[in-house]
Homo-oligomer: A and B are copies of this chain.
Amino acid sequence: MDREELFRELSIKNENKIILLVMDGLGDLPMYGGKTALEMANTPNLDKLAEMSECGVADPISPGITPGSGPAHLGIFGYDPLKYQIGRGVLEALGIGMELGDKDLALRGNFATMDKDGVILDRRAGRIPTEKNIELCKKLQENIKEIDGVEVIIKPVKEHRMVAVFRGEGLEDGLTDTDPQQVGKKWIPVKPLRKEAEKAASILNKFLDMVNEVLKGEEKANTILLRGIAKVPPIPKMQELFKLNPVAIANYPMYKGLAKLVGMTVVEVGDTIEDEFNKLQELYNDYDFFFVHIKKTDSYGEDGAFWKKVGIIEEVDRFIPKLMTLNPDVVLVTGDHSTPALLKSHSWHPVPVLLYSKYGRRDEVNKFSETMCTRGVLGKIRAMDELPLMMACSLKLTKYGA
Contacts and interface: CB of A to CB of B under 8 A. Distances in A.
Contacts of A294: none
Contact of A359 (B72, B347, B375, B397): B347
Contact of A66 (B69, B71, B397): B397
Query: Chain copies in the assembly?
Result: 2
A399 B6 contact: no
B391 A64 contact: yes
Interface in A344-402: 345-350, 359-363, 370-371, 374-381, 385, 387-392, 397-402
A81 interface: yes
A333 B70 CA distance: 34
Interface string A39-71: 000000000000000000100011111111111
Contacts of A379: 57, 350, 374, 379-380
Contact of A70 (B70, B91, B401): B401
A343 interface: yes
27 contacts: A3-B82, A6-B82, A29-B360, A30-B361, A62-B385, A63-B378, A63-B381, A63-B385, A63-B392, A64-B388, A65-B392, A65-B397, A66-B392, A66-B399, A67-B400, A67-B401, A68-B401, A68-B402, A69-B402, A70-B402, A92-B402, A340-B359, A348-B389, A348-B392, A361-B371, A363-B374, A379-B380
Chain A binding surface SS class: loop
A61 B30 contact: no
A16 interface: no
Contact of A361 (B6, B66, B81, B349): B349
Contacts of A91: 401-402
Given A361-B30, A392-B348, A397-B348, A1 B66 contact: no
A342 B370 contact: no
B346 A399 contact: yes
A382 to B, nearest CB: 8
Contacts of A144: none
Nearest to A72: B401
Nearest to A388: B64
A1 B64 contact: no
Nearest to A359: B29
A221 to B, nearest CB: 23
Interface size, A (range): 35 or more
Contacts of A65: 6, 10, 388, 392, 397, 400
Given A362-B30, A362-B371, A385-B63, A228 B402 contact: yes
A323 to B, nearest CB: 22
B399 A362 contact: no
A388 B60 CA distance: 14
A92 B349 CA distance: 40
